[in-house]
C-alpha cells in the first residue's frame, strides 16, 4: 500500500514536487549538524570584539545575525528538526487513535458507537489552540508534552472520517463471507476492513502532519514552545519579542518562508493522493 502511495504521488506533478520538497526538508533536518555553518546559539563578534548584532546578510552570515549575534541561517537549518519531529510523531499518534476508534465505532455500532462518538463530540467541542496552551501550562513545555497535547486534540476528526467509511465497508459481501467463515470480530476489523480504509487513513496522516507543523510553529511564536529547543516558531517569537522584527527582515522572513514551504509541500502530497483515491476532486 505504501508502494501504491508513492506510485500515485509520482504520477502527479504537483504531488511529486511536494514530495521532493518534503524529502529535501527531511534531509536538511537530519544532516543539520553537518550543513549548519555555526552552532545555532553561538554568539559572533567582529575583529574588534564587538557583538555582531542585527548584521544584514553577508558572505560569512548568509541570512544575517540576530540581536544576540547568532547566525540566522544556522538557526533556520536546526529549526526544522522539531517541526518535522513533532509533525511526524503527532500524525502517527493521531491516526493510531483516530483509526482505531473509528474502526470500533463503525463496526460494532449500538452503544459502543454511541459511547465513542459522544466522547469524540466532547473533544470536538474543545477549542484547539487554547486547549494546547492550557495542557502545556499544566504539564510543562517540552517536545513530548506538545506532541501529547496535539495527539489528544487532533484525533477527533480522523475518528469521524474513518467511522463513516467503516459504516459503508462493513455491509459489503466480503465482510459477510468472513463472518460466515467464523472469523472473529477483531480479525474482520483489522484484516478485512482496515486495508480498505487505509487510503483514507493515509490522507489523514498527511493532513495531520501539515496541521501539526503549523500548530507547533504557532505555539513557538506565542512563546509556549520548549525553551530548550530552537524551532522556526521560536525564532520568529524572539524577533518580535526583541521589537526588532521591523528592522531585521532577514530574521523573520526566512523561518516564516520555511514554514510555508514545508506545509505547502505536505498539502501538495495530500491533495495529489486524495485526487487519486477520489477522482471526482479533479473536477474542482
Does residue 260 lie in a domain region? yes
73, 78, 222 from 36: Cα distances, Å: 7, 7, 26
Q: What is the mean pLDDT of residues 119-145?
A: 88
Q: What is the mean pLDDT of residues 248-260?
A: 91
Does residue 51 lie in a domain region? no
Q: Dihedral through CA 226, CA 227, CA 228, CA 229, nearest 10?
A: 50
Does residue 228 lie in a domain region? yes
pLDDT, position 138? 86
- Given a cut of 60, whether residue 283 has pLDDT beyond it is no
CATH number at residue 244: 1.10.3720.10
- Given a cut of 80, whether residue 281 has pLDDT beyond it is no
Does residue 177 lie in a domain region? yes
pLDDT, position 140? 81
- Give per-residue pLDDT as tens, 177-235: 888 888 888 899 888 898 888 888 888 888 888 889 999 899 988 888 888 889 999 99
Does residue 118 lie in a domain region? yes
Write out the DSSP string of 129-168.
HHHHHHHHHHH-S-HHHHHHHHHHHHHHHHHHHHHHHHHH
- Give per-residue pLDDT as tens, 20-75: 999 999 999 999 999 999 999 999 988 888 888 888 898 888 999 998 889 999 99
**Spatial CB neighbours of 178, under 8 Å, sequence gap ≥ 6:** 187, 188, 191, 192
- Given a cut of 80, whether residue 10 has pLDDT beyond it is no
Q: What is the mean pLDDT of residues 255-263?
A: 93
Does residue 197 lie in a domain region? yes
- Given a cut of 70, whether residue 126 has pLDDT beyond it is yes
Number of domains in the chain: 1
17 sits in the region (left: phi over 0; alpha: psi -120 to 50; else beta) called alpha
Spatial CA neighbour of 198 closest among 99, 91, 90, 113: 99
Distance from the Cα of residue 137 to its chain's centroid = 21
279 sits in the region (left: phi over 0; alpha: psi -120 to 50; else beta) called alpha
Q: Is the pTM of this model over 0.75?
A: yes
Asked whether the beta carbons of 79 and 231 are under 8 A apart, the reply is yes
Does residue 45 lie in a domain region? no
Structural domain for 153, as ranges = 2-34+60-283
Beta bridge partners of 65: 71
Does residue 13 lie in a domain region? yes
Cα gap 113→157, rounded to integer Å: 15
Amino acid at each position: 500500500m505504501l508502494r501504491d502511495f508513492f506510485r500515485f504521488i509520482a504520477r502527479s506533478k504537483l504531488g511529486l514536487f511536494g514530495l521532493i520538497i518534503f524529502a529535501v526538508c527531511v534531509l536538511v533536518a537530519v544532516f543539520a549538524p553537518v550543513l549548519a555553518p555555526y552552532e545555532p546559539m553561538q554568539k559572533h563578534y567582529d575583529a574588534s570584539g564587538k557583538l555582531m548584532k542585527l548584521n544584514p546578510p553577508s558572505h560569512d552570515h548568509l541570512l544575517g545575525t540576530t540581536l544576540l549575534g547568532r547566525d540566522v541561517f544556522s538557526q533556520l537549518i536546526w529549526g526544522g528538526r522539531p517541526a518535522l519531529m513533532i509533525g511526524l510523531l503527532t500524525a502517527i499518534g493521531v491516526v493510531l487513535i483516530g483509526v482505531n476508534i473509528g474502526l470500533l465505532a463503525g463496526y460494532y455500532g449500538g452503544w459502543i458507537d454511541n459511547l465513542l462518538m459522544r466522547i469524540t463530540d466532547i473533544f470536538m467541542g474543545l477549542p484547539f489552540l487554547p486547549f494546547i496552551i492550557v495542557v502545556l501550562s499544566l504539564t510543562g513545555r517540552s517536545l513530548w508534552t506538545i506532541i501529547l497535547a496535539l495527539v489528544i486534540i487532533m484525533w477527533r476528526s480522523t475518528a469521524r472520517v474513518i467511522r463513516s467509511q467503516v459504516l459503508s465497508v462493513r455491509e459489503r459481501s466480503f465482510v459477510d463471507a468472513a463472518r460466515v467463515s467464523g472469523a472473529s470480530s477483531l480479525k474482520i476489523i483489522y484484516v478485512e476492513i482496515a486495508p480498505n480504509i487505509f487510503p483514507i487513513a493515509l490522507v489523514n496522516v498527511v493532513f495531520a502532519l501539515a496541521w501539526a507543523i503549523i500548530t507547533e510553529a504557532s505555539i513557538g511564536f506565542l512563546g509556549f514552545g520548549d525553551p530548550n529547543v530552537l524551532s522556526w516558531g521560536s525564532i520568529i517569537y524572539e524577533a518580535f519579542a526583541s521589537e526588532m522584527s521591523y528592522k531585521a527582515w532577514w530574521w523573520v522572513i526566512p523561518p516564516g518562508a520555511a514554514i510555508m514551504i514545508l506545509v505547502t509541500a505536505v498539502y501538495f502530497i495530500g491533495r495529489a493522493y486524495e485526487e487519486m483515491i477520489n477522482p471526482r476532486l479533479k473536477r474542482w
